[in-house]
Amino acid sequence: MKITGSVALVTGAGRGIGRHFARQLLERGAAKVYAAVRDPRTAGVPGAEVLRVDVTDPGTIAAAARAAGDVTFLVNNAGVSTGHDLVGGDPERVRLEMETNFFGPLAMIRAFAPVLAANGGGAVLNVLSALSWVSYPGSGAYAASKAAAWSLTNGARLELAGQGTQVTGLLMASTDTDMMAGYDVPKNDPADVVRAALDGVEAGRAEVVADDGTARIKAALSADPAALYPGVL
C-alpha cells in the first residue's frame, strides 16, 4: 500500500489523531482525503473533502460508501471513551463504547470492503489502544471495546486477504489528544504516532506498536496476568 496517489477516508477526522492522519496523508501525496466527521463544521483540515459520517449510524455510513467510491485506504479512527467500568458503570455508556469502538469500525469495513476490492484491494488501518491488551479501574468499557476491535482487526485481515486488502492495527499508550486532556501522565506526540502508523502501512505490517510502553504490555501477555496487575492478583 502506497500513500502517494491513494484516496483515503479517515473517520473522526475533526480532531486529535484523526486530524493528524488527514494532514499527514495529504502531506505524503494522497490524491484525495475524505475527512469523515459527525459534524462537518469540525473538519478543519485544508485540502480534505468533508463527509458526514457517524459510525453508529448505518445510514450515514451507507451514504459515505456511495459518495466515496474511489477510496483505496480506510482509516478507522473514530472512537469514544466514557470512563465507565463494566460492572459498576452505566450500561448505556458501556454499550455506547462498544457501538462506537467495535461495531462502528465493523460497519465501516463491511460498507467499504466492496469499494476497496473494486479499486484494487487497498488497505484498512484500525486505530486501537494498549488497552486492547490490559485494563485499569475506570477503563473497563473502553478496554473491552478496544479488545474487541483488536480481534476484529485480526478477523477482518483474514477475511479480506482474498481480495488483496491489507489490514493493519495501530496500538499505542496515552497520546496527547482531546480524549486524554484530563490525564496528567506521559503522552505520545500524536504526530509521531501517525507517522509510525503510515510508515507501517506502507511497509505492509499487520500491526504497528507505537511506543515502548505498549511494546512492554504486549510482551507481558505471555506471562501470568499478575505481571500486568501487580498488587491486585
Q: How many domains does one find in the chain?
A: 1
Nearest to 114 by CA among 60, 54, 164: 164
The answer to the question of residue 65 being in a domain is yes
The answer to the question of residue 233 being in a domain is no
Cα(2)–Cα(130) distance, rounded to whole angstroms?
26
Q: CB neighbours (10 Å) of residue 17?
A: 27
Cα(212)–Cα(55) distance, rounded to whole angstroms?
30
pLDDT higher than threshold 60 for residue 160? yes
Domain of residue 14, residue span: 7-227
The answer to the question of residue 125 being in a domain is yes
Cα(178)–Cα(64) distance, rounded to whole angstroms?
25
What's the CATH code of the domain at 80? 3.40.50.720
Across the range 153-179, mean pLDDT stands at 90
Q: CB neighbours (10 Å) of residue 161?
A: 12
Nearest to 65 by CA among 29, 11, 27: 11
The answer to the question of residue 37 being in a domain is yes
Q: So what's the pLDDT on residue 96?
A: 97
Instruction: Name the pLDDT band for 230 (thresholds 50, 70, 90).
Output: confident
Nearest to 69 by CA among 107, 112, 110: 112
29 to 3, 7, 175, 228: CA distances (angstroms): 7, 10, 25, 41
The answer to the question of residue 232 being in a domain is no
The answer to the question of residue 1 being in a domain is no
Residue 114 contacts residue 70 (beta carbons within 8 Å): no
Cα(214)–Cα(211) distance, rounded to whole angstroms?
6
Per-residue pLDDT of 10-45, as tens digits, reads 999 988 899 999 999 999 999 999 999 999 887 778
The answer to the question of residue 18 being in a domain is yes
